Amino acid sequence: MPKIAVKKLDERAVLPTYGSEFAAGADLYAVTDGDVEFAPGETKFIHTGLALEIPEGYAGLIYARSGLACKRSLAPANKVGVVDSDYRGEVMVALHNHSNTVQKIASGERIAQLVIAPFLKVEYEQAEELGNTVRGEGGFGSTGTK
């Protein structure tokens, strides 16, 4: 299994952990001074107390934890956070309260999940024409609903 170097920036920080044997995402934990309350529609940056050394050619993708998002309406404000391989600062999670009620998290609570994924770096080249496909310019439901 590949290894990612993780630096604890806070003694309370918890290294990412997998919730099951075949989980794709590793849980990220909140490092806070007590409970953090979120008013309806409010976004707050939550510390993890961790910095990562992600290898070149990979990115850390921060996704919602399904239970937190579906049961308590707390999910990353930017939908998917991206941690680049050259970033060495603290990993933060911008949590947003999508509900109509006050929500809160506690220090040490699992707040998001981190997936390490390879990506392709490409060179963008301007073109006058693009190749044709059957779909063409159809988008946003153009392939049907069933």
Tell me whether residue 20 is in a domain: yes
> What domain range is 99 assigned to?
5-118
Tell me whether residue 145 is in a domain: no
Measured at the CA of 69, the angle between CA 68 and CA 72, to 5 degrees, comes to 65
At 18-73, the pLDDT tens digits run 999 999 999 999 999 999 999 999 999 999 999 999 999 999 999 999 999 999 99
CATH number at residue 41: 2.70.40.10
Given a cut of 80, is residue 143 above it in pLDDT?
A: no
95 vs 93: CA distance, rounded Å: 6
Give the mean pLDDT of the chain.
95
pTM of the model: 0.90
84 vs 61: CA distance, rounded Å: 9
Tell me whether residue 64 is in a domain: yes
Sheet with 81-83, edge to edge strand ranges: 17-18, 26-29, 110-118, 58-63, 81-83
Please give the structure tokens belonging to residue 45: 């940056």
Name the pLDDT band for 145 (thresholds 50, 70, 90): confident
Given a cut of 90, is residue 144 above it in pLDDT?
A: no
Tell me whether residue 17 is in a domain: yes
Domain count for the chain, please give it: 1
